Amino acid sequence: MIVRHPNIKRLQRYHTRLPAHGRSHALGSCCLTVRAEPHVDATVDNLVIGAGVVGLAIAARLSRHGSTLVLERNPAFGMETSSRNSEVIHAGIYYPPTSLKTQLCIRGNRLLYSLCAQHNISHRRTGKWIVATNVDQAAYLYDMKQRVDDLGVPVRFLSRKNVTEAEPNVIAHTVLESPTTGIVDSHALMACLEGLITTHGGDIAYRTLVASITPSSKGGYLIRTSDPTPFLVHARHVINAAGLYADDIASTLLPASQVPKIYPCKGTYYTFARNPQPVKRLVYPVPEKNLKGLGVHATVDMAGQVKFGPNAVYVGCKDDVTAVEDNELRESFAFAIGKYLRGVTKEDLRVDYAGVRPKLSSPTDPFHDFHIESPLSFRGFVNLMGIESPGLTASLAIAERVEGMLGYRDARNL
Ligand SMILES: Cc1cc2nc3c(=O)[nH]c(=O)nc-3n(C[C@H](O)[C@H](O)[C@H](O)COP(=O)(O)OP(=O)(O)OC[C@H]3O[C@@H](n4cnc5c(N)ncnc54)[C@H](O)[C@@H]3O)c2cc1C
């Protein structure tokens, strides 16, 4: 048995030498010519690329059905977008009703609260206020309420008395409350998913960079890793959950016309750097047009620390996560916050961290949904792209969907 990869010791149990022979190979409706099969180091049923929250959630489900391996280039899970977000469990109230973002967020919200309760993952049903500061914005909230009522997601208007008693610093014309919004310790969530993967017999190979996917003459796919040691895995199913880099991965397999472009869009956070904290719950302004971002909002973490953000700035570089003190940005945050919260000055704000959204819409495009597809000519390959917010909330529902797309049937939550 030859397993050359130093980080995948447990892969030995999947190891098989596949016979090397070349033949014409039909995948779905498309005929692809596949070259002679090279030596394969390991073979698995399900291979997931990326150990962010989405890849982990998918692998946690798939590992109940067959041998499952996650390949992640970083030394640990969740070192990219999944640890650079607001950690909000969204209710699913912002996006077009039939969109995947809405449907998977609503389902994911329920699945996530249930998983948190079952596995003692730190979380809190804080509730969230969406605050209109003038009549036009209030009209937006009335429209929103009607849309959200139709979806069966609970929201309610608050009286002025309720608002001033509960959050005296909030400046509001009208407040719509979403009681099913909350927060979750995303690291604890991912640690739980990692544990479930291994409990179900799956594996994660860290420090392993995927270089390409090609169709195999045996059916399924060959996944080549390039760093630190070249390694070849054969998998029946491949799931591309590589986040911001999912387009690079997809381009090695799919024709360019089937790979959407990713527009990195950076969001920076500021913390409120003195006590007492100005609010106890999540407070959001009415969102920006095209839902580019949800506006500079106030969130609290599990310790009650308030942070503001993220803003939304399209950037040229996917790994531009630097968060540096910038007086102009600090002023613009204080200005945006001052519209719905009193007593927050720019001196109260300290730059904290930044995350980058893998957007599928350019600054001028309208709304774009999650892209979760198994192209007809590439059976067994599931491509996930544009998994921006509410991807953390939706992760367990995305996993359920991918499981169904691959033909597995399982009604159980994790
Ligand atoms: C500023 C911001 C705020 C947000 N707030 C919220 C929120 O409050 N609530 C919410 O529900 N969602 C939120 N989101 C969205 C949420 O964070 C994402 O949808 C989610 O984290 C996406 O997870 P992922 O697993 O798809 O991607 P990632 O976390 O990016 O994981 C992808 C993984 O793939 C790996 N990878 C990439 N290329 C390769 C390769 N070639 N080989 C091996 N591994 C590779 C990466 O190293 C990475 O670990 C927010 C996002 C941002 C940016």
Q: What is the pLDDT of residues 399-410, one digit of tens each?
A: 999 999 999 988
Residue located nearest, by CA, to atom 14 of ligand 1? 389
**From ligand 1's centre to the CA of 262, what distance in Å?**
13
- Beta bridge partners, 350, equal 271
- Co-location of 231 and 273 in the same domain: no
Q: What is the pLDDT of residues 249-261, one digit of tens each?
A: 999 999 999 999 9
* Ligand 1 atom at shortest distance from the alpha carbon of 241: 26
Mutating to test ligand 1, I would choose from 71, 84, 85, 352 the residue with most ligand atoms within 8 A of its C-beta, which is 85
95 found inside a domain: no
- Contact at 8 Å (CB) between 69 and 47? yes
Residue located nearest, by CA, to atom 9 of ligand 1? 88
CA–CA gap between residue 371 and residue 382 (Å, rounded): 10
* Ligand 1 atom at shortest distance from the alpha carbon of 77: 49
CA–CA gap between residue 377 and residue 74 (Å, rounded): 31
Give mean pLDDT, residues 138-161: 96
Residue 40 has pLDDT above 60, yes or no: yes
- Co-location of 60 and 36 in the same domain: yes
Span of 25-29, 86-90, 144-148, 178-182 with lowest mean pLDDT: 25-29
Give mean pLDDT, residues 133-143: 95
Give mean pLDDT, residues 303-326: 94
275 found inside a domain: yes
**From ligand 1's centre to the CA of 242, what distance in Å?**
8
- Co-location of 143 and 220 in the same domain: no
- Co-location of 221 and 244 in the same domain: yes
**From ligand 1's centre to the CA of 356, what distance in Å?**
8
109 found inside a domain: no
Q: What pLDDT, on a 0 to 100 scale, did the predictor assign at position 15?
A: 42
- Contact at 8 Å (CB) between 261 and 360? yes
**From ligand 1's centre to the CA of 223, what distance in Å?**
21
Q: What pLDDT, on a 0 to 100 scale, did the predictor assign at position 293?
A: 66
391-405 and 53-62 are packed helices; what angle lies between their axes, rounded to 10 degrees? 30
115 found inside a domain: no
Q: What pLDDT, on a 0 to 100 scale, did the predictor assign at position 366?
A: 87
Residue located nearest, by CA, to atom 4 of ligand 1? 85
- Identify the domain containing residue 327 by its residue range: 128-179+263-359
- Co-location of 322 and 382 in the same domain: no
**From ligand 1's centre to the CA of 358, what distance in Å?**
8
- Co-location of 248 and 270 in the same domain: no
Which residues form ligand 1's pocket by a CB distance below 6 Å?
49-55, 71-74, 79-82, 84-88, 90, 209-210, 241-245, 249, 267, 310, 355-357, 387-393
Q: 30: Cβ–Cβ under 8 A, 6 or more apart, which residues?
A: 376, 377
Q: What pLDDT, on a 0 to 100 scale, did the predictor assign at position 28?
A: 29
Residue located nearest, by CA, to atom 2 of ligand 1? 85
Mutating to test ligand 1, I would choose from 48, 81, 181, 396 the residue with most ligand atoms within 8 A of its C-beta, which is 81
Residue located nearest, by CA, to atom 41 of ligand 1? 210
- Co-location of 22 and 170 in the same domain: no
Half-sphere exposure of 44 (CA within 13 A, CB side): 31
- Co-location of 250 and 299 in the same domain: no
56 found inside a domain: yes
Residue 30 has pLDDT above 50, yes or no: no
Q: What pLDDT, on a 0 to 100 scale, did the predictor assign at position 143?
A: 94
**Pairing relationship of beta strands 203-205 and 68-71 according to DSSP bridges:** parallel
Residue 7 has pLDDT above 90, yes or no: no
Closest CA to 392 of 195, 10, 34, 123: 123
**From ligand 1's centre to the CA of 66, what distance in Å?**
25
* Ligand 1 atom at shortest distance from the alpha carbon of 392: 11
Q: 406: Cβ–Cβ under 8 A, 6 or more apart, which residues?
A: 46, 62, 237, 374, 380, 382
- Co-location of 22 and 152 in the same domain: no
- Give the type of residue at 241: A
* Ligand 1 atom at shortest distance from the alpha carbon of 387: 19
CA–CA gap between residue 7 and residue 74 (Å, rounded): 12
| pTM assigned to the model | 0.92
CATH number for the domain including 31?
A: 3.50.50.60
Q: Cα separations (Å) of 53 from 180, 328, 403?
A: 21, 33, 16
**From ligand 1's centre to the CA of 372, what distance in Å?**
15
**From ligand 1's centre to the CA of 389, what distance in Å?**
9
**From ligand 1's centre to the CA of 116, what distance in Å?**
20
Number of domains in the chain: 2
- Co-location of 332 and 211 in the same domain: no
116 found inside a domain: no
**From ligand 1's centre to the CA of 344, what distance in Å?**
30
Sign of CA dihedral 161, 167, 169, 173: negative
- Co-location of 271 and 384 in the same domain: no
- Identify the residue whose tokens are 């995303």: 186
CA terminus-to-terminus distance, the chain: 34
- Contact at 8 Å (CB) between 32 and 222? no
CATH number for the domain including 269?
A: 3.30.9.10
CA–CA gap between residue 315 and residue 395 (Å, rounded): 25
* Ligand 1 atom at shortest distance from the alpha carbon of 50: 34
Residue 25 has pLDDT above 60, yes or no: no
Closest CA to 181 of 414, 390, 399: 390
**From ligand 1's centre to the CA of 85, what distance in Å?**
9
Q: What pLDDT, on a 0 to 100 scale, did the predictor assign at position 410?
A: 81
Residue 34 has pLDDT above 50, yes or no: no
CA–CA gap between residue 253 and residue 235 (Å, rounded): 14
- Co-location of 353 and 393 in the same domain: no
